[in-house]
Structure 1
Amino acid sequence: MSKRTLAIAAALGATTIYGLNHTIAKGAMPHYVQPYGFIMVRVIGAALLFWAISFLGPKERIAKKDYLRILLCAFLGMGLNMLAFFKGLDLSTPINSAVLITITPIIVVLLSAVLIKERIGPRKFTGVTIGLLGAVGLIVFGAEQRVDAPNVPLGNLYIFANSIFYGSYLIVVKTLTDKYHPFTFMKWLFSLGILICLPFGYGEFVQINWPALPFDALWRIVFVVVGTTFLTYLFNVFALSQLRASTLSAFVYVQPLIGMVFAVLSGQDTLGTVKMVAAGLVLLGVYLASRKPRMGRRHS
């Protein structure tokens, strides 16, 4: 099996875990753990896991010229990204989260145009516009009265911000994936992530009553730490070593499908008209924005 095939499998594995995570993580918040406290559990757990397996990789040192990039990646991927997503998921619903997260490829297209001067042709521009309309529509009109979703518009806004941070992370981290073994920089990224998230999550982290947590909460926490954090970041780093950031971000298409089906089947969310229309607009926009141009056409 070629490395590219393995990279595609890893990307599909990561996006499947992410799709399930919208509902699984939501089930633990806020009754058993608050969102920022949950993030502290994530970054601490992932840092320990990456340090534990780091001996399996080569002995490498991070070059001094890459220190700033490492710090920026930690802020975007292990700090702002996670904090915004879990706060948004706490305030909003699993399906809203699954839909809004698909805006990431559009963010990557826009950032690629700004940072690496990649041209946005008419089709990509149309896709970006449609996708953003869907996202804005869900943020503005997707509010619903639910006990476990106290502020859906604000939560949707947090999740939208998460897509911006994660899209930025995919672009910035690409240089590191080309230069270092995943174990080398992931252990440092999550170690820095602990320091970055500490001011936000310490208070909620120490409030977690571990002895009193039921099994239903514990398995969800383990899934988030091992699956949604450790495995997905490992899968994505490997996928980035073989695929472009824009290609990897396109795998997010699968997330709303998995997220919606799992949320509805588990009884933790419902699929209304606004969500369906918004999801359709976002997916259409993402498809147009990230589809490769046909041979002979250079304007897209």
Structure 2
Amino acid sequence: MNKQLQVHGALFLVALIYGSNYSIAKAVMPAYMGPFGLIVIRVVSAALFFGILSRLVVKEKIVGRADNMRAILCGITGIAINQLGFFGGLNLTSPINAALLMVIVPIIVLIFSAILLRERVGMRKVGGIVLACSGAFLLIYTSSGEGTPGNLLGDLLIVLNAASYGLYLVLVKPLMQKYNAFTVVSRIFTVGAVIVIPFGWQQVMVPDYSSFPAEIWWAIAFMVIAVTIIAYLFNTWALRYANPSLVGAYIYLQPLLAIVIAISVGRDVFTLEKALYALLIFAGVYLVSRTRQAVTEE
């Protein structure tokens, strides 16, 4: 198999893993475990894995007060708030709403880059922001109506998750340019684990694990091993060889896979109304990403 096919295979697997996560996580929450309990299991497991990998393979430390403070902020935004917002929101809203709202991450990155890095925002990007935000607003607004599969609070938590992750991508860039990726990820997962444990420890202790059917154990294992570890390793490897536009195309494939999976397993319905809002969001993100390919390099 040549390198090009390997890269496409790795990126598609990552998109499939993330797209599947929306429906698989809904199978566990809240019937078997609360969302914050899942976060503790996932983040602590990842912190241990990447911590051991960093010490045995990389053997590098983040030095200096400024870099350590930045790493702490990355742990807060990229892991703690990001995960608490995502699983808390997904527990309340529908998989399709969550997947569509997550597409606005490049918009959030652009906004924070303009504020923190003072990057120039042209009229095309402004138009993209307006389009994507309009679609996101309409999707959230209609979730408050009766009989809709979405949830207003859940959608807002997903937006908080996207905003936090967008800020993280801006904050982590200098660290990724200075240190090995595993060094940075090990530190931010450790910081995130310290923060999320108080939120979810009680939910970890409450369930009767002996009553869990095999499919729930497989779902939890999928979220820990595939979503957290395998997806990150494959994505990191693929980024070494893939150009930004290719990575971006696979990022936008994630919500499409999430929609197909959610409908096929009967966990959500895709209405014409959602399709129109999705079109606004995708059009806006396209306008922004067309001239900002570096977003997908993070």
Normalising by the smaller structure, the TM-score range is 0.7 to 0.9
Separation of aligned partners in 2, 1:7 and 1:178: 22
Q: Hey, what does 1:226 align to over in structure 2?
A: 225
The aligned runs of 1:1-150 (5 Å cut-off) are 11-65=11-65, 66-143=67-144
Q: How far apart are the structure 1 equivalents of 2:97 and 2:76?
A: 25
Moved over 4 A (4+): 4-12, 143-147, 235-251
Unaligned runs of 5+ in 2: 293-298
Matching of residue 201 in structure 1 with residue 200 in structure 2: yes
Paired with 1:39 and 1:70, the residues of 2 have a C-alpha distance of: 20
* 2:195 aligned counterpart, secondary structure: helix
Equivalences for 1:245-284 in 2 at 5 Å? Answer: 251-284=250-283
Counterpart of 1:298 in structure 2 is none
Query: Does the 8 A contact of 1:105 with 1:249 survive in 2?
Result: no
Q: Relative to structure 1, is the Cα distance of residues 226 and 157 closer, same or farther in structure 2, using a 3 angstrom cutoff?
A: same
* Cα separation, 2, equivalents of 1:215 and 1:49: 24
Q: Matches of 2:44 and 2:279 in 1, distance apart?
A: 37
- In the alignment, residue 37 of structure 2 is paired with which amino acid? G
Q: Is the 8 A contact 2:105 2:166 kept in 1?
A: yes
Distance 2:110 2:241 in 1: 19
The alignment partner of 1:31 has SS state of: coil
1:90-129 CA deviation, whole Å, 9 max, x = no partner?
0000111111010101111111111111111111111110
Tell me the SS of whatever aligns to 2:28: coil
CA distance in 1, matches of 2:208, 2:115: 45
CA-based RMSD: 2.7
Distance 2:254 2:171 in 1: 23
Distance 2:36 2:145 in 1: 23
Given that 2:39 and 2:84 are in contact with CA atoms closer than 8 Å, whether structure 1 keeps it comes out as yes
Match of 1:174 in 2: 173
Rounded to whole Å, the distance in 2 between the matches of 1:8 and 1:194 is 32
Aligned residues: 290
Cα distance in 2 for residues equivalent to 1:172 and 1:241: 21
3-state secondary structure, aligned to 2:60: coil
CA positional deviation for 1:77: 1.1
User: Contact 1:139–1:156 at 8 Å: present in 2 too?
Assistant: yes
Contact kept, 8 Å, 2:54 with 2:60, in 1: the verdict is no
Contact 1:95–1:256 under 8 Å retained in 2 = yes
Identity of aligned residues (%): 39
Q: Quick check: 1:32–1:208 contact (8 Å CA) kept in 2?
A: yes
Deviates more, 1:169-178 or 1:235-244: 235-244
Give the corresponding residue for 2:296: none
- Structure 1 stretches of 5 or more lacking a match? 294-300
User: Offset of 1:54 from its aligned partner?
Assistant: 3.0
Q: TM-score, normalised by structure 1?
A: 0.87
C-alpha change, 1:25 and 1:144, in structure 2 (3 Å) is: farther
Q: CA deviation at 1:274?
A: 2.1
Amino acid at match of 1:61: K
* TM-score (normalised: structure 2): 0.88
Distance 1:217 1:38, change over 3 A: same
Compared CA separation, residues 246 and 174, structure 1 to 2 (3 A): farther
